[in-house]
Amino acid sequence: MKSKHDLTITDIRVIVSSPGRNFVTLKIVTKCGLYGVGDATVNGREQAVAAYLKEHVTPCLIGRNAHEIEDIWQYLYKGVYWRKGPINMAAIAAVDVALWDIKGKAADLPVYELLGGKSRKAIATYAHATGSTIDDTLDKAEALFAQGFTAVRLQTAVPGLKASYGVLGDKKDYFEQQSSRPLPPEEPWSTRKYMNSIEDLFRQARSRFGTEVQLLHDVHSRLTPIEAARLGKMLEPYDLLFLEDAVAAENQDSYRIIRDHTTTPLAIGEIYNTIWDCKELIQNQWIDYIRTATTHAGGITALRRIADFAALFHVRIAPHGAPDLSPICYAAQAHLGIWAPNFGIQEFVGFGSDKSNEVFSYDLTLTEGMIHVGDSPGLGVDFNEEAAAQYPYNRSYLPVSRLEDGTLWSW
Ligand code: GCO
Ligand code: MG
């Protein structure tokens, strides 16, 4: 069918900006003037994706028909020869999301309508409560429940360690924390200290908040499979919605070991790039939630496939939603989440900072801990290039983690 819009791709812009923290944004412009935006942010490696997009992707796309999302996806995935990988897949994701945005605008429909329409009214989220002590964490959780959230991830500094991931210390928020790191800071880790202190957090949380609220926890891949199995058993009485990243799963069958020992639901996937990274986890039903992000696992086209595959095995999607995922990623995931029959929950740490809100606009609203998706055509997001120009790239890194004897550990 002949489109009433000329969607020949005429211009592609790659913008690296730092409105509070670094984002890599892609803008694809078509002949009729319709354009779409995509997120390609890989935290701590932003310039690598930007160079890849500028030098190796955009020249191949000029002149193509923006309607052909599937063919362009396959072209960038199979055509690269060296498939997969975080840089490649973030670049594909940004192109894919921008093309869905354009298709929606051309059809004058929100992207969720193109996916098959709404399966629910709004998207459930879980917020973060991270404190320097158990009381601090639980006070923060209480404030979130008071705002209407019904699910909260609890993290507390490990007693006896100088720093713990996610604990902000004197920093106002994640944005300020990350932008103060021109080189990777080093943080200590002790599995023994963690295992000796973690149960108390959840015991106190349940005794303070009761059984109605949902609680989650992120292990950040610090344990071995058998340690994770023990943790899952230890936390069973506190009825977690899920335990995240208990083990780094380069070996997907590590999760079999955990699964054999505990009924605590398991989630993983924020660092995965493709469906292949989670294929065995899903088809063996070793996990309950798959947490791949549109930005890091190939966009809406790829996440839709992961969601459909996961649905066959009772696995639900719970996409990553940390602050390094831009509002464009949130929008893409919101459209997917409102459609996916097997949507579980969306991680949510706010749509952005005051600075990032000058640069990104979005048609999403949060009420009572739920994200409501507006009916703007496309993804309903926009990126203000002039505002972004005020905030140049600022090199910054995630921390690295070491055991107390100096051994480098998983972050
Ligand atoms: C999460 C995460 C993040 C990541 C960060 C990496 O579950 O929200 O684990 O805190 O560490 O997004 O860039
Ligand atoms: Mg995580």
pLDDT in tens, 305-318: 999 999 999 999 99
Residue 108 inside a domain? The answer is no
Catalytic site positions: 165, 220
Residue 348 inside a domain? The answer is yes
Q: Is the pLDDT of residue 335 over 60?
A: yes
Per-residue burial over 218-252, b = 16 or more CB atoms within 10 Å of its CB, e = otherwise: bbbbbbebebbbbbbeebeebebbbbbbbbbbeeb
Q: Is the pLDDT of residue 391 over 60?
A: yes
Is any ligand 1 atom within 6 A of the Cβ of residue 46? no
Report helix, strand or coil for 8. strand
Whether the CB-CB separation of 302 and 96 falls below 8 Å is answered with yes
Site of tokens 């921390």: 399
Residue 110 inside a domain? The answer is no
Q: Which ligand 1 atom minimizes the distance to the CA of 325?
A: 12
- Which CATH number fits the domain that encloses residue 228? 3.20.20.120
**Euclidean distance between the first and the last CA atom of the chain, given in angstroms as a whole number:** 50
What pLDDT score was predicted for residue 183?
86
* Side-chain half-sphere CA neighbours of 259 within 13 A: 14
- The token pair that represents 184 in the structure block: 């990777």
How many domains would you assign to the chain? 1
Q: Which of 1-10, 215-224, 342-351 has the lowest mean pLDDT?
A: 1-10
Helix axes 327-339, 299-311, angle to 10 degrees: 30
Is any ligand 1 atom within 6 A of the Cβ of residue 398? yes
pLDDT tens-digit profile of 265-283? 999 999 999 999 999 999 9
Mutation probe of ligand 1 site: the residue of 324, 329, 411 with most atoms within 8 A of C-beta: 324
Residue of the CA atom closest to atom 9 of ligand 1? 220
Which amino acid appears at position 28 of this protein?
A: I
Q: Residue 204: name the closest of 155, 134, 151 by CA.
A: 134
Q: What pLDDT band is residue 2 in, cutting at 50, 70 and 90?
A: low
Residue of the CA atom closest to atom 2 of ligand 1? 322
Q: What pLDDT band is residue 71 in, cutting at 50, 70 and 90?
A: very high
> What is the percent of the chain with per-residue pLDDT over 90, rounded to a whole number?
91
Residue 81 inside a domain? The answer is no
Average pLDDT over residues 310-332: 97
Q: What pLDDT band is residue 179 in, cutting at 50, 70 and 90?
A: low
Residue of the CA atom closest to atom 12 of ligand 1? 322
Q: Which domain holds residue 128?
A: 115-377
Is any ligand 1 atom within 6 A of the Cβ of residue 218? yes
Report helix, strand or coil for 396. coil
Q: DSSP letter string over 319-383?
A: ----TTS-HHHHHHHHHHHHH-TTB--EE-S-S--HHHHHHEEESEEEETTEEEEP--SBT-EEE
Q: Residue 175: name the closest of 333, 394, 402, 365 by CA.
A: 394
> What is the rounded CA–CA span in Å between residue 400 and residue 165?
10
Residue of the CA atom closest to atom 10 of ligand 1? 322
Is any ligand 1 atom within 6 A of the Cβ of residue 88? no
Q: Which ligand is nearest to the CA of 401?
A: 1
Q: Is the pLDDT of residue 42 over 90?
A: yes
Q: Which ligand is nearest to the CA of 246?
A: 2
Q: What pLDDT band is residue 1 in, cutting at 50, 70 and 90?
A: low
Report helix, strand or coil for 133. coil
- The token pair that represents 405 in the structure block: 């004897």
What pLDDT score was predicted for residue 396?
92
CA 44 to chain centre: 15
> What is the percent of the chain with per-residue pLDDT over 70, rounded to a whole number?
96
Is any ligand 1 atom within 6 A of the Cβ of residue 322? yes
Residue 125 inside a domain? The answer is yes
Q: What pLDDT band is residue 166 in, cutting at 50, 70 and 90?
A: confident
Q: Which ligand 1 atom minimizes the distance to the CA of 347?
A: 8
pTM of the model: 0.96
Is any ligand 1 atom within 6 A of the Cβ of residue 43? yes
> What is the rounded CA–CA span in Å between residue 275 and residue 178?
29
Q: Is the pLDDT of residue 182 over 60?
A: yes
Q: Which ligand 1 atom minimizes the distance to the CA of 323?
A: 12
Average pLDDT over residues 44-48: 97
Q: Which of 173-182, 247-256, 350-359, 373-382 has the lowest mean pLDDT?
A: 173-182
Residue 275 inside a domain? The answer is yes
What pLDDT score was predicted for residue 142?
98
The mean pLDDT value of the chain amounts to: 95
What pLDDT score was predicted for residue 163?
78
